[in-house]
Chains A and B, each alone.
Chain A
Amino acid sequence: MKPKKILGSNEISTILNRLSFQLIEDHNSFENIVLVGIQPRGSLLAKRLTLLINNHLKSNDLKVGYLDITFFRDDFRRSEKILKANSTSLDFLIENKTVVLVDDVLFTGRSIRAALNAIQSFGRPLNIKLLTLIDRRFSRELPIQPDYCGTQVDSRLNEKVIVNWKENNDEDSVYLIKNN
């Protein structure tokens, strides 16, 4: 199967703008809200959204952090490959704050389950919201749904959604490919 382009850079830009305004609409102030990108693939999205929101509001109130969930995953010792960890950097307290977990693709929900456990090592947040760029519908293995969603994609289990960011891949785009 030829890779199918789901989103191009203009569409992604529109979606990011919409998501940032949705966050602004729902929250009066960003002093008690933090965005936490799930490493490695949610980090760039979290960073972009933070920049957009801070630009819209002309402030630096919104803080962004990056959370590695490797040691909290439920497939350790269940796959052939070694789970490689990434760095975590949360330079703020999350106690009593609203944490918006940010990831690029929501698929089975297992990463988010791991993230919900991992974030507890840093305190007790007031509440946790979930934002994803792509929601692969009908493929959830856990009862987890996004609060903010870029777009929904219907895909088969043997397909894979690839998100490219211009910081790493020269362009912003989302493709659907067949997983071998």
Chain B
Amino acid sequence: MENLSVDNLLGIKYLNSNDLNLIFKTADNFKEVINRKIKKVPSLRDVTIANLFFENSTRTKLSFELAQKRLSADVVNFSSTGSSVSKGETLIDTVNNIISMKVDMVVMRHPSPGASVFLSKNIDSCIINAGDGTHEHPTQALLDAYSLIEKIGSLNNKNILIVGDIMHSRVALSNIFAYQKLGANVTVCGPKSLIPKDIESLNVSVNTNFVNALKHCDAVNMLRIQNERMSESYFPSVREYVQQYGLNKNILDSLDKKIVVMHPGPINRGVEITSEVADSDQAIILDQVENGVAIRMAIMYLLAAKLK
């Protein structure tokens, strides 16, 4: 059996559909493992992994660390606050120093788009992108697609809607690539000011009418409004955003069919999605979190097999 076509996980853009299916198939096995009473397997006991988080994260960091520990890898954690980064050390120097301590794999989150691609060209180690600025967040897209397939089966010819801050969201871009590689049609929806100008070049449809767009989809991924990445105001007020693009129970019930509701977290309850919807049986938000560990175990297992 063939392994992945890549040696690093920098973005979904670089994967093919065989890679995606191999990751999903391996994740099935790990999902069974993490539902055992004893959730640990010894596969990566001779692998050391560094988690470098140059930006805040709760879910992703925790999920990666749990995945690593369940694979029996040795883990070191680094966050930029309180490190030598504030003394002016460059990214390559920081990472090379860490790799000199015999680290086999680097999981990195960084606020600059393209940071992990840049790093992969300059250092000799296996790199997993855990989110680079507004660019890609491949493991999130993989767990989103995996959770959705688990719920509705093959995504071939399914219509998937991504709503919200498409411009600042790395989840959106990775999601678009992943769904398209699995044969789905992707539509994005949100205020015009938050939709990138040339998004059609990715073969994505744009629909700014939220309710109309919902009528034509099988699943919707509600993105978070990323206030921390906005240097200016992209919409008049949160209240207006909620009125136009917030998902509530009334809208959901008015649709002809039961669509699946996803959210990458953290949720702004009452903004992009109401509590009632987030906690309803149509939402698979907590399944996404559970599957996140299995997906990350699968990726690290498959990439570790390629380590020299």
* Contact status B42-A71, CB under 8 Å: yes
B40 contact from A70, A87, A121, A122, Cβ within 8 A: A121
The answer on a CB contact under 8 Å between B29 and A68 is yes
> What separation, in Å, do the CA atoms of A137 and B101 have in the docked complex?
45
Shortest C-beta distance, A77 to chain B (Å), equals 6
CB within 8 Å for A82 and B43 given contacts A87-B29, A121-B37: no
CB closest residue in chain B, given A71:
B41
CB contacts (< 8 Å) of A68 on chain B: these are 29
Per DSSP, chain B at the interface is: loop
Q: Give the A interface residue count (CB, 8 A).
A: 19
Known: A87-B29, A87-B32. A82 touches B42 (CB 8 A): no
User: B residues touching A (Cβ–Cβ < 8 Å)?
Assistant: 1-3, 26, 28-29, 32-33, 36-43, 46, 301-302, 304-305, 307
A123 to B33, CA, bound (A): 14
Of the candidates B1, B2, B28, B37, the one whose C-beta lies within 8 Å of that of A122 is B37
Complex interface bits, A63-86 against B, C-beta within 8 A gives 1, otherwise 0: 000001011100011000111111
Tell yes or no: A120 within 8 A of B by CB: yes
A88 lies within 8 A of chain B by Cβ: yes
A-side binding surface: helix, strand, loop or mixed? loop
**Set of chain B residues within 8 Å of A13, measured between Cβ atoms:** none
Question: How many angstroms between the C-alpha atoms of A121 and B35 in the bound complex?
Answer: 11
Contacts A68-B29, A82-B2, A85-B29 hold; do A122 and B38 have CB atoms under 8 A apart?
Answer: yes
Measured between C-beta atoms, what is the minimum distance from A128 to chain B in Å?
A: 16
- Interchain CB contact under 8 A, A83 and B305: yes
